[in-house]
Amino acid sequence: MAYLKPQRPEKVTAPSLRASKERGERLVCLTAYDYPTARVVDEAGIDIILVGDSLGNVVLGYGNTIPVTVDEIVSHTRAVRRGVHRALLVADMPYGSYHTSADDAVRVALRLVKEGGAEAVKLEGGLRRAPLVKRLVEEEIAVMGHIGLTPQSVNKLGGYRVQGKTAETARALIEDARALEEAGAFAIVLEVMPREIARVITESVSIPTIGIGAGGHCDIQVLVLHDMLGLTFDKTARFVRQYVNLREVMTDAISRFAEDVRTGAYPSEAESYGLPAEAAAELKLETDNKKSKLEKS
Ligand code: KIV
């Protein structure tokens, strides 16, 4: 199948993203949560792999990101780390892990980097998180910001809605982005906001913007892997383009396996092991093997 090969085969790093923005390259980001998905995503040439706290929605079945723990993110990041070679690996800081104090946040971020093998961490929030982003960067941790619809604020926001639809809230988003850049973030996720505002932000910061439901003007696009593969159970948002219905593909394969077992079509001789003729003779056992039977007759 023909597809566009990654433009840059070399390892992606946090600083290299800014150079990519300057060159006008359109990079790609996807989530991954385990070794096989990480390997497939990395080998497909995706530039950034995020162990997102969307883990809570698409893998752990929590229904939202609120219950996701640091231990869960660390464990999944370790698995993803083993499958990623080229992409930049970013791990999400889950809800509650950076809300109590800057020192607590530094401890969590260090765990994601040292134990998980992440090269950067992501946290939600704009202007009010800028001092924390600055502190993490001072501790040599690369930080990705995340503004607009921030799913960890679902209870405060009262649902998942488009953000920045009034002049006032749009201005606040632009301010958030500038504050994060100023604080030292190397990139910013812009989630579910009008494309015009994402464009203003993308043009007014020198670090790359990573859009999800924020239109085509962002420097980089991200989707949740299970959404674009059709491996979800809920209605997906309008910005999700589903490239395959993996749920259907899997259901079909699993049903065919069950059918083969029930009818005796699985396993065949080729899918099992026969007893060598000498051992069969010594044990006075008839072999199942068609070839041995033919040899005998
Ligand atoms: O948790 C996640 O997967 C994310 C992306 C949607 C950006 O934050």
CA atoms of 189 and 177, how far apart (whole Å): 9
Residue nearest to atom 6 of ligand 1 (CA): 224
Atom number of ligand 1 nearest to Cα 53: 1
Q: Assign residue 231 the CATH number of its domain.
A: 3.20.20.60
Q: Is residue 50 part of a domain?
A: yes
Q: Which structure tokens are listed for 93? A: 């800081």
Residue nearest to atom 5 of ligand 1 (CA): 52
Q: What share of the chain is helix, strand, coil (3-state, %, to 5)?
A: 45, 10, 45
Q: Is residue 261 part of a domain?
A: no
> Where are any strands of DSSP class E within 17-79?
27-31, 48-51
Q: Is residue 101 part of a domain?
A: yes
Q: Is residue 6 part of a domain?
A: no
Q: Is residue 253 part of a domain?
A: no
Q: How far is the CA of 2 from the centre of ligand 1 (A)?
A: 28
Of 47, 38, 123, 144, the closest CA to residue 81 belongs to: 38
Which residues make beta-bridge pairs with 121?
A: 91, 143
Contact 294, 284 (CB under 8 A): no
DSSP 240-261: PPP---HHHHHHHHHHHHHHHH
Q: How far is the CA of 260 from the centre of ligand 1 (A)?
A: 39
Residue nearest to atom 3 of ligand 1 (CA): 52
Q: Is residue 272 part of a domain?
A: no
pLDDT at position 287: 82
Torsion of CA 162, 203, 134, 154, to 10 degrees: 0
The pTM (predicted TM-score) of the whole model is: 0.93
Residue to probe by mutation, ligand 1, list 88, 123, 209, 212, most atoms within 8 Å of CB: 212
Residues identified as active-site: 191
Cβ neighbours of 172 (radius 10 Å): 16
Contact 76, 68 (CB under 8 A): no
Contact 217, 206 (CB under 8 A): no
H or E stretch covering 144: strand 143-148
pLDDT at position 289: 66
Residues with CB under 6 A from ligand 1: 31, 50, 52-54, 92, 146, 189, 212, 222, 224
Q: Number of structural domains, the chain?
A: 1
Atom number of ligand 1 nearest to Cα 31: 3
Q: Is residue 105 part of a domain?
A: yes
Residue numbers of the domain that contains 99: 14-248
Contact 37, 66 (CB under 8 A): no
Q: How far is CA 89 from CA 29, 92, 147, 201, 205, in A?
A: 10, 10, 20, 24, 22
State the residue for tokens 């973030």: 185
- Residue 267, preceding peptide bond in cis (omega within 30° of 0): yes
Residue nearest to atom 1 of ligand 1 (CA): 52
Q: Is residue 168 part of a domain?
A: yes
pLDDT tens, residue order, the chain (297 aa): 556 555 557 999 999 999 999 999 999 999 999 999 999 999 999 999 999 999 999 999 999 999 999 999 999 999 999 999 999 999 999 999 999 999 999 999 999 999 999 999 999 999 999 999 999 999 999 999 999 999 999 999 999 999 999 999 999 999 999 999 999 999 999 999 999 999 999 999 999 999 999 999 999 999 999 999 999 998 999 999 999 999 999 999 999 999 999 999 999 999 999 999 999 999 999 887 665 444 444
Residue 124 burial (CB < 10 Å; 0-12/13-18/19+)? buried
Strands 143-148 and 209-212: unpaired
